Amino acid sequence: MSAPSREGGVEHRFGEYGGQYVPETLMPALAELEQAWLQARADPDYLQELDSLRRDFSGRPTPLYHAQRLSERVGHPVYLKREDLNHTGSHKLNNALGQVLLARRMGKRRIIAETGAGQHGVATATVCALLGMECVVYMGTQDTKRQQPNVQRMQLLGARVEPVDAGARTLKEATSEAIRDWVTNVESTHYVIGSVVGPAPYPALVRELQRVIGEEARAQILEREGRLPARVIACVGGGSNAIGAFAAFVPDEQVELIGVEAGGDGIDTPRHGAPLTVNSRAGVLHGSRSAIMQDEEGQILEAHSISAGLDYPGAGPEHAHLRDTGRARYVAVSDAEALDAFKAVTRLEGIIPALETAHALAWLLSAPGGELDIVCLSGRGDKDLAEVLGMGGD
């Protein structure tokens, strides 16, 4: 396996994590994808098209916003990296733009994706509409229910939403079903995986497409404050907004990197989505080895979170490696705490955050200390209104 490296190839392994645990049928497609990506990222035409779509279609660079009242509340300056202001309302468009452009270069005509909260599905459906490509999105039926507005958006955009009724009917099953579709249609189809999970080269590919978050934020904070932040805080389901926010800061060892997982009913119960925080045994899920929630025999357990985007029993392999090496720290926030932060930040800042993002904000609100923080505001929360109001939000 290739050693981690910044230039040249693409990492297959992050320490003991990562790899390519997929049916043989997919192996040539993974090699083809890796080659296409290595060529594309060295091709000025690809990079220019991606840059121009990021600027004119998505609205990048996104602002780094000094959240005054939130800062007052926690007692130190807090900046929000406003990924919610991307077109489609989250960081997911960064990855979808890069991958669908790549798929078109590879001559693929059909795009598939999995989605939990629906944000990745909407982003992928959006780029497919833009480029005139066929799009199928797999989504658990529990999620089609709790994220109904996003289902309607995807359908309006011309995507077919395939409901998945297996297991807990959430992101894990949607991902498994998307992989089965890819095994069947690999010759015509590109699978736009939505997070830094899956077999190599996906975790590295998605990180490279999301690292724009941290690169912009780093330059912005240096311009605004003349120094680096003490902490960068982001929520972690699979972990793509977090890796995107962290990547540019990893070499800055004085910057603490904090990933906030879904604590669900509490990490002392089985109902959570926090494999990194609770130090779950490593195992294989969806093509890579990482921290996953599993039983003694290796059956994958069902995760639980109020937030569909964090309701996943695994996390990206690079996160597991960042944890083991001590470069990043992972913590968990319960459903109730996330819900409180959702409401609090909405009223403090006039910004309705996604329930996923509310986990990062909840940790900020509850954790003592801090001096200069950046929180990745990964997405907007309009999609969550029904869920929040249904739970007695006022």
Partner 1 sequence: MSAPPVSGEQRIREAFAGASGRAALMPYLMGGFPTLADSMRIGEACVQAGADVIELGVPYSDPLADGPVIHAAGTAALAAGANLAGVLEVARAVSEGVPVVLMCYSNMVFAPGVDAFLERAARAGVSGLIVPDLPHGEAPEVREACERAGIAQVPLVAPTTTPERLAQIGADAMGFVYTVSVVGTTGERRALSEHFAEVIARTRASTQVPVALGFGISTPEHAAQAADAGADGVIVGTRLVRAAGEGADPAGAVGALVAELAAGLDAAR
Q: Which of 167, 266, 270, 393 binds partner 1 (CB under 8 A)?
A: 167
Which residues are bridge partners to 262 per DSSP?
273, 333
Residue of 51, 52, 72, 166 that binds partner 1 (CB under 8 A): 166
DSSP 162-214: EEE-STTSSHHHHHHHHHHHHHHHTTTEEE---SS-SSTTHHHHHHHHHTHHH
For residue 92, indicate whether it is catalytic: yes
| CB neighbourhood size of 382 (10 A) | 13
Judged by CB under 8 A, which of 40, 113, 127, 179 binds partner 1? Answer: 179
Quick one: which of 238, 198, 194, 237 has its CA closest to 99?
194
Is 198 or 214 the residue whose CB approaches partner 1 more closely?
Answer: 198
**Cα(17)–Cα(240) distance, integer angstroms:** 16
Question: In whole angstroms, how close is the CB of 15 to partner 1 at the nearest point?
Answer: 16
Q: Contact letters (x/-) for partner 1, 183-222, by CB under 8 A?
A: xxxxx-----------------------------------
Q: What single-letter amino acid sits at 307?
A: S
Q: Does 254 bind partner 1 (CB under 8 A)?
A: no
String of contacts with partner 1 for each residue 18-57, x by CB under 8 A: -xxxxxxxxxxx-x--------------------------
Determine the interface stretch with partner 1 among 53-61, 83-91, 175-183, 244-252 (rule: CB under 8 A). Answer: 175-183
Q: Identify whether the C-beta of residue 293 lies closer than 8 Å to the C-beta of residue 300.
A: yes
Count of residues interacting with partner 1 (CB under 8 A): 38
Beta carbons within 10 angstroms of residue 116's beta carbon:
31
Site string for partner 1, 276-305 (x = CB under 8 A): -----x-xxxxx-x--x-x-xxxxx-----
User: What do you get for the CA distance between the two ends of the chain, in Å?
Assistant: 53
34, 81, 90, 92: the catalytic one is 92
Annotated active-site residue 378? The verdict is: yes
Q: Is 223 noted as a catalytic residue in this protein?
A: no
Least gap, CB of 18 to partner 1 (angstroms): 10
As given in the structure block, the two tokens for residue 33 are: 């994808």
Sequence-ordered list of residues with C-beta below 8 angstroms from that of 168, at least 6 positions apart, any chain: 140, 142, 302, 303, 311
Q: Residues interacting with partner 1, by CB under 8 A? A: 1, 19-29, 31, 166-167, 172, 176, 179-180, 183-187, 281, 283-287, 289, 292, 294, 296-300
Catalytic site positions: 92, 114, 378
